[in-house]
Structure 1
Amino acid sequence: MPVNPKTLPRHELVGLPVEVRSASNPDLVGIRGECVTETTQMLGIESGDRVRQVPKAGADFSWTLPSGDVVTTAGSRLVARPPRRTEHRGDSKWR
């Protein structure tokens, strides 16, 4: 299944360009780069010469898909272990 705006939360996020659009910590707003790590609560965004850790909850992210589409997602929709999030959100035939 290709990545599209509707299925983004069910896909692997590592490797996608991302920008922090809003966050409960104003110092994090505007961070942009490539998502290089993901845990249950955090995204690691490579920005310049360092990796910034951004909490998923309390933030909104804009993702640039391989098709060129830009999708904004609430971080609260992404809070879960990556394997569980990609498997159990939506209509997975593997449940």
Structure 2
Amino acid sequence: MPTPETLPRHELIGLPVRVADATHDGYVGLGGRVVDETTRTLAVDGSGTGVRQVPKAAATFEFRLPGTGDDAPAHGARGADQFVTVAGERLVARPARRTEHRGDSIWR
């Protein structure tokens, strides 16, 4: 399960997302589910607005991680949703390569 610290290393497709900030005002507030990912873009399917390509490097994203809040019980039941803000620059990479790197090792 992704955590705020490890989210950039996990699969993003399927996660609910909202564009919190962007260099282009047309992207700010855009939300939905991530349906595809390329090296430089996230494809976001908003309800009724269709699929929009959002450049990763030009935006800050807010992902919703379901049931991972501090009040999540240890026995596996779902807790409150947690929102994680990630600068898009941290996500710019081929998805397969981005998920391979841990990011906290000095040896990679």
TM-score by length of 2: 0.80
The C-alpha deviation readout for 1:19-60, integer Å capped at 9, x for no partner, is: 000111111100000000000000000012310100000210
Letter in 2 for 1:69: Q
Instruction: Give the C-alpha shift of residue 66 in structure 1.
Output: 2.3
Letter in 1 for 2:100: E
2:101 is the counterpart of 1:88? yes
Instruction: Give the C-alpha shift of residue 91 in structure 1.
Output: 4.7
* Higher Cα Rg, which structure: 2
Aligned residues with identical type, % of pairs: 58
Match of residue 76, structure 1, among 86, 89, 92: 89
Residues 29-40 of structure 1: matches in 2 within 5 Å? 29-40=28-39
| Equivalent position of 1:58 in the other structure | 58
Between the two proteins, the alignment pairs up a number of residues equal to: 92
Q: CA RMSD in A?
A: 1.4
**Runs of 4 or more above 3 Å deviation:** none
Consecutive unaligned residues in structure 2, runs of 5 or more: 68-80
| Equivalent position of 2:46 in the other structure | 47
Structure with greater helix percent: 1
| Equivalent position of 1:20 in the other structure | 19
Letter in 2 for 1:77: R
Consecutive unaligned residues in structure 1, runs of 5 or more: none
